[in-house]
């Protein structure tokens, strides 16, 4: 297993279990299977609406001696309705209670988009807080306070482009330590990855398999299917592996952490075995130079809401 090593010596296993889209009733067993298989990195978020069940699984694993708390790296994310500085603590406290933990290893701002505290998903312009009402600098100050208090060991962001990272870097006391972004061969984001590395910001890939099970509202009729790309099948056949394993290995070979989601025991185990795959230069070149370019999670559920103060430039790099 490859690791990301933070400045204080903490180590993040670069292959973790994602829990987005893992339904209540399924995620509890998935987390236990993952820990039994050898995973030591679990990625969560308040908006996934399953953190209580993840917490139940972690509690059982600790109680039964399957793993120790200090051996499991747990990440969660601050939802958009807790961006005001005094709300950061509120959002964090709920996550900590749901996960039944005394501290988090990593806490991320989920999106550079702010909503009013009573809103989970926006339906109209009045549901948002604009940049002036909830500046990222204030949200980040709330994140810094959590780390200073010892409640979080590391802090970072998710879905942040270069300009939003620069906004935080311009005034922060503690630099973001992670940026979690959509990454796969259809969306390699090399420029953003390079920028993060130049500022000692680590990177985690979400939706590494193309998120085929994303909600129907997030799908478009012309979306390409990442897992059906012929070149991946050829590389998988060459190594005697599955396409999913090859896609996971691609991120690891870029020194990017990756969090594939599954609630299937066999696939959870197969995904972990991706850490042992050794792709060669020709494999990486073939996977990194595809004609198809596509972003599956495009953020239009924020930017196309009537009256939204946020646009695509708030989320993604310019083409």
What are the structure tokens assigned to 179, written together? 């940026």
pLDDT, one tens digit per residue, over 98-153 is 999 999 999 999 999 999 999 999 999 999 999 999 999 999 999 999 999 999 99
Phi, psi of 18 (to 5 degrees): -85, 150
pLDDT, one tens digit per residue, over 256-293 is 999 999 999 999 999 999 999 999 999 999 998 899 99
DSSP 47: G
What is d(CA 228, CA 292) in angstroms, rounded to the nearest whole number? Answer: 12
Q: Categorize the per-residue pLDDT at 25 as very low, low, confident or very high, splitting at 50, 70 and 90.
A: confident
CB 181 within 8 A of CB 159: yes
What is d(CA 200, CA 169) in angstroms, rounded to the nearest whole number? Answer: 11
pLDDT of residue 73 exceeding 90 = yes
What is d(CA 34, CA 85) in angstroms, rounded to the nearest whole number? Answer: 35
What is d(CA 83, CA 78) in angstroms, rounded to the nearest whole number? Answer: 8
For helices 51-63 and 27-37, the axis angle rounded to 10 degrees is 40
CB 206 within 8 A of CB 189: no
Q: Categorize the per-residue pLDDT at 97 as very low, low, confident or very high, splitting at 50, 70 and 90.
A: very high
The catalytically annotated residue of 48, 186, 206, 296 is 48
pLDDT of residue 182 exceeding 60 = yes
3-state secondary structure 199-210: CCCEEEEECCCC
Strand 202-206, strand 114-115: pairing: unpaired
What is d(CA 215, CA 20) in angstroms, rounded to the nearest whole number? Answer: 11
pLDDT of residue 317 exceeding 60 = yes
Phi, psi of 13 (to 5 degrees): -60, 130
Phi, psi of 35 (to 5 degrees): -65, -40
DSSP 307: T
Catalytic residue flag (residue 296): no
Predicted structure pTM score: 0.96
Which range (15-24, 36-45, 87-96) has the least confidence? 15-24
Q: What percent of the chain has pLDDT over 90?
A: 92
The confidence score (pLDDT) of residue 216 equals 65
In which element (H, E) is residue 58 found? helix 51-63
pLDDT, one tens digit per residue, over 221-247 is 788 999 999 999 999 999 999 999 999
Average of per-residue pLDDT across 56-72: 98
Domains, the chain: 3-314 (3.20.20.100)
């Amino acid at each position: 297993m490859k690791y990301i090593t933070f400045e204080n010596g903490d180590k993040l296993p670069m292959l973790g279990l994602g829990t987005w889209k893992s339904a209540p009733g399924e995620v509890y067993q998935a987390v236990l299977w993952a820990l039994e298989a050898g995973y030591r990195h679990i990625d969560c978020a308040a908006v996934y609406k399953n953190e209580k069940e993840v917490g139940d699984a972690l509690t059982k694993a600790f109680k039964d001696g399957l793993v120790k708390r200090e051996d499991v790296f747990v990440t969660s994310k601050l939802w958009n309705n807790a961006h005001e500085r005094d709300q950061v603590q509120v959002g964090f406290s709920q996550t900590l209670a749901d996960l039944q933990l005394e501290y988090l290893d990593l806490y991320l701002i989920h999106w550079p988009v702010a909503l009013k505290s009573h809103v989970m998903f926006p339906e109209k312009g009045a549901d948002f807080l604009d940049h002036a009402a909830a500046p990222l600098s204030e949200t980040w100050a709330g994140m810094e306070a959590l780390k200073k208090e010892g409640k979080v060991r590391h802090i970072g962001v998710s879905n942040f482009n270069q300009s939003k990272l620069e906004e935080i870097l311009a005034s922060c006391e503690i630099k973001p330590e992670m940026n979690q972004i959509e990454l796969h061969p259809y969306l390699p984001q090399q420029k953003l990855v390079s920028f993060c590395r130049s500022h000692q910001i680590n990177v985690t890939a979400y939706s590494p398999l193309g998120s085929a099970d994303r909600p129907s509202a997030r799908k478009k009729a012309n979306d390409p299917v990442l897992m059906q790309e012929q070149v991946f099948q050829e590389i998988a056949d060459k190594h005697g592996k599955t396409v999913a394993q090859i896609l996971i290995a691609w991120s690891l070979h870029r020194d990017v952490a990756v969090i594939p989601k599954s609630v299937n025991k066999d696939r959870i185990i197969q995904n972990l075995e991706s850490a042992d795959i050794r792709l060669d230069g020709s494999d990486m070149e073939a996977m990194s130079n595809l004609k198809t370019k596509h972003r599956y999670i495009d953020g239009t559920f924020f930017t196309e809401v009537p009256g939204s103060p946020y646009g695509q430039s708030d989320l993604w790099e310019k083409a």
